Amino acid sequence: MIRAVVFDLDGVLIQTEELWDEVRAGLARDHGGPYGPEEQRAMMGMSSPEWSRYMHEHVGLPESPDEIAAEVVDRMAGRYRERLPLIDEAVEAVERLAGRWPLGVASSSNRPLIDLVLELSGLAPLFSATVSSEEVARGKPAPDVYLEACRRLGVPASSAAAVEDSHAGIASAKAAGMCVIAIPNPTYPPGDEALAGADVVLGSLAELTPAAVEGS
């Protein structure tokens, strides 16, 4: 029986994979570093310490990983304040499930960005626990961020469902032992192998109902 639901953020509630890519690519270009499809794929799902270290070591940015992360977060926050890219039906889907279960967020985004998104969207009161992968030892596809979200919600991971969109996210939630509801990101869709690991695959947030979660 499902006792809680944990949402990913980027690609599930807000369409930001392209925005992360633009911001990190812009920072790389500002410093003359390479940035292309290989770098984009490598960083998807990484925690902030992981991708900022990657940009320092592999893209060649001279700043420290902490400085790189701070600059990216600042640029992302500015873009969110200009226009928060909420995915259609995000608010409605969260409200539907919040009427039935306690909700959490398990995100690769930095803590300030998670808090800003939930504040700007008005969804903050509906989430009982939020976790950034910068607060755990390993980012997705490791299970750490989902395990911590379930711990903060006070439920075993085996009694919780995750809502995910990406290859790394699906793998992370499955490794935690959760039921996984996949809503594939249309821009960066997970592969067939990853989708095969999901318990339920939906076409959009409009299909995310309590009945769909119970069916997982």
| CATH (residue range 4-15+85-214) | 3.40.50.1000
pLDDT computed for residue 185 by the predictor: 82
- Asked about 8 being catalytic, the answer comes back as yes
pLDDT computed for residue 189 by the predictor: 82
Point out the catalytic residue in the list 10, 21, 144, 165. 10
Helices (H), strands (E): how many in the chain?
10, 6
Closest CA to 16 of 80, 78, 64: 80
The rounded distance, in Å, linking the Cα atoms of 156 and 81 is 36
Question: Please, which residues have CB within 8 angstroms of residue 171's CB and are 6 or more apart in sequence?
Answer: 140, 141, 194, 197
The rounded distance, in Å, linking the Cα atoms of 19 and 9 is 13
Total residue count of the chain as it appears in this document: 216
What are the sequence ranges of the domains in the chain? 4-15+85-214, 17-82
3-state secondary structure (DSSP) of residue 117 = helix
As a whole number of Å, the CA-based R_g of the chain is 16
Q: What is the pTM of this model?
A: 0.91
- Asked about 144 being catalytic, the answer comes back as no
Per-residue confidence in pLDDT tens, the chain, 216 aa? 999 999 999 999 999 988 998 999 999 988 878 888 888 888 877 888 899 999 999 999 999 999 999 999 999 999 999 999 999 999 999 999 999 999 999 999 999 999 999 999 999 999 999 999 999 999 999 999 999 999 999 999 999 999 999 999 999 999 999 999 999 988 778 888 889 999 999 999 999 999 999 987
pLDDT computed for residue 192 by the predictor: 86
CA 99 to chain centre: 22
Question: Please, which residues have CB within 8 angstroms of residue 36's CB and are 6 or more apart in sequence?
Answer: none
pLDDT computed for residue 80 by the predictor: 97
pLDDT computed for residue 34 by the predictor: 84
- Top CATH class of 17-82 equals mainly alpha
**Are 91 and 123 in contact, with CB atoms under 8 Å apart?**
yes
Q: How far is CA 174 from CA 32, 79, 112, 137, in A?
A: 38, 32, 26, 18
Question: Please, which residues have CB within 8 angstroms of residue 32's CB and are 6 or more apart in sequence?
Answer: 60
